[in-house]
Structure 1
Amino acid sequence: MKGNDMLDTHARKYVEPFISKGAKFFLKLKLTPNNVTIIALIVGISTSLFIYLDMRVLAIITLWISGYLDAVDGDMARSSNKTSLFGTLMDITFDRVVEISMILVFGLKMIDVRLNLMVLLSSILMSMTIFLTVGALTDKKGMKSFYYQAGVAERSEGFILFTLMILFQSYIGMIANLFSIVVLFTAVQRLLEAKKIL
């Protein structure tokens, strides 16, 4: 990890005990890491339903629960020695499904900010393309089963910005623009790092 990564890296040590407790709890229930990944997906998608129904508090709660479960499944996999490449694929894919579903619902509800949301989707696509390509091309490995490029916009920062989009829908265009800028900055960070390591 680099010094310019943010919450996912710096805050991890503070929330790690809660993540470990969750992992132990689900392992005691005989659930597999992939089971919890699927639960995280279902909870995450329910966020979009609550956004559509304008149930903002429930949307925020389910969003953050899905994020918590997304961290728990990885801890479960590592502590039980059940890490798998397919689990990694599920994790990354389902994260994007949750994000895309929220952006699509916002676009469905708010016609006037569809361009802002299209730019946001494009920014996420660009950043993830670099992230996944570098992970595939480099031999380096991290705590996950592939090389994880840190950056300004990681999962936690995205959740904070999505939370602001849910809460302050009158300003969703401005928040989406800020989100896009942060994601594009991260894409440039990753591209510059990729030039050094590839």
Structure 2
Amino acid sequence: SYVSQYNSASPKFKSILDKHWHLLREAYPSILEFQQGPMMSYQGMYRCKGCAQCRYVLVGPEFDHPHSDQKYQIRGYNTCDTNFAVYMLVCPCGLVYVGETTQKVKDRFSQHRSTIHTDNRSLPVSRHCLEQGHTSDELKFRVIQHVPPLKRGGDRALALKRAEVKWIDRLGTLSPQVLNHDFDLHLFL
């Protein structure tokens, strides 16, 4: 498996690899990895291309800090189907909300959209959208970190919540100016 960041040359690179892969297969018949064609995988956030939420995905290998020029690389290959993820919602006015979910990100995003449709003002994202006149169709999302199963065991859900708190702090999305209203520092004790 070859992991890279996608760019405009990636399809051409893949085409060249596919065209000449037979040379490796024939030259090294005892190496099993060369017997199958190359598998390309790109880091970042991409559409799963099979769900109703795909059109709201912010695609790409990186994202910008909401209040500065700093860029962050998204590790791993993430889609709407990614679970155990820290995600970012981006409002049309530029405000950002950071959340975490153990379910597929597309399902969690659908729930955010539903709270706007049902006029639920008890949650920060829907309250903001409803007060500002934004529709659920204007809300976009991306995964900013996936928390894989822990290699040495442990509480994956706790690791996810800790990652969320770190991103809320790193991106400065805590209220009053932005959409996150609180986070729990007890997670680090």
TM-score of the two chains, using structure 1 as the length reference:
0.27
Give the strand-richer structure, 1 or 2.
2
Give the helix-richer structure, 1 or 2.
1
Larger radius of gyration: 2
